[in-house]
Structure 1
Amino acid sequence: MNFLTQTHGSIEVITVDADRIDAAVAIQFKDQMREAVAETGDRVILNLENVAFIDSSGLGAIVAAMKLMPDGKKLELAGLTTTVDKVFRMTRMDSIFAIHSDVDSAVQNAA
């Protein structure tokens, strides 16, 4: 699993360069997120625009990544495809995460 990382001031944008976050890659995802968020700004935006499918293991890995965030720092989501957005809404995770339509709006809006 590859991540592409960009910095916008104190905001780090991590783009997941994979079409699935499922049981096959959940542990790898969590490990890479642990490294990626260790030295971040105040906000981390996880860009999921390339992710077409997520299962319960993938959802759990994203929640685990949120819990890995250092105190006072936030993990936000952006660019959810229709299918991935549906998973977040059905599990009510949309009430836990700030979800933005795309990276540009996430960067412009402090959640």
Structure 2
Amino acid sequence: MDTLLKVTRENNKITGTLVDTDRLNATIATGVKEQLNKNFDDSEICFTLNLQNIKFIDSTGIGVLISALKTARQHNGEFYLTNVNKEVMDLLALMKLDKVFDFK
């Protein structure tokens, strides 16, 4: 599997950036979900997902974000989104998910 998520780690703070794509959709969702969830093996991880490159997200991609948030909470961690493009933020707001996710 290609690396879809570039990760930098400093103690329990992790920043991940989706690379080589401008879409978070069904085509890459399974791989991204696996790579995100691997980072929550330890408890109390603070993970920030940088979406600066993402211009399109579908329902499967939304499911990946919700899954990561749920996994983080199960491990007493935190999950943030950052650098969310306007179109993606508009979709999150339409689905009322702007009230569910935390943003940096």
TM-score range, shorter-chain basis?
0.7 to 0.9
**Identity of counterpart residues, as a percentage?**
23
Distance across 1 between alignment mates of 2:40 and 2:52? 19
Say whether the 8 Å CA contact 1:49–1:79 is kept in structure 2.
yes
Please tell me whether residue 75 in structure 1 is matched to residue 79 in structure 2.
Answer: yes
* Residue 42 (structure 2) aligned to one of 39, 44, 48: 39
Gaps of 5+ in 1: 101-111
Gaps of 5+ in 2: none
Please tell me whether residue 66 in structure 1 is matched to residue 73 in structure 2.
Answer: no
Q: Deviations over 1:77-103 (max 9, x none)?
A: 000011111111111111111112xxx
TM-score (norm 1): 0.80
TM-superposed CA distance for 1:36, in Å, is 2.5
TM-superposed CA distance for 1:3, in Å, is 1.1
TM-score (norm 2): 0.84
TM-superposed CA distance for 1:42, in Å, is 3.3
Quote the RMSD (CA, aligned, Å): 1.7
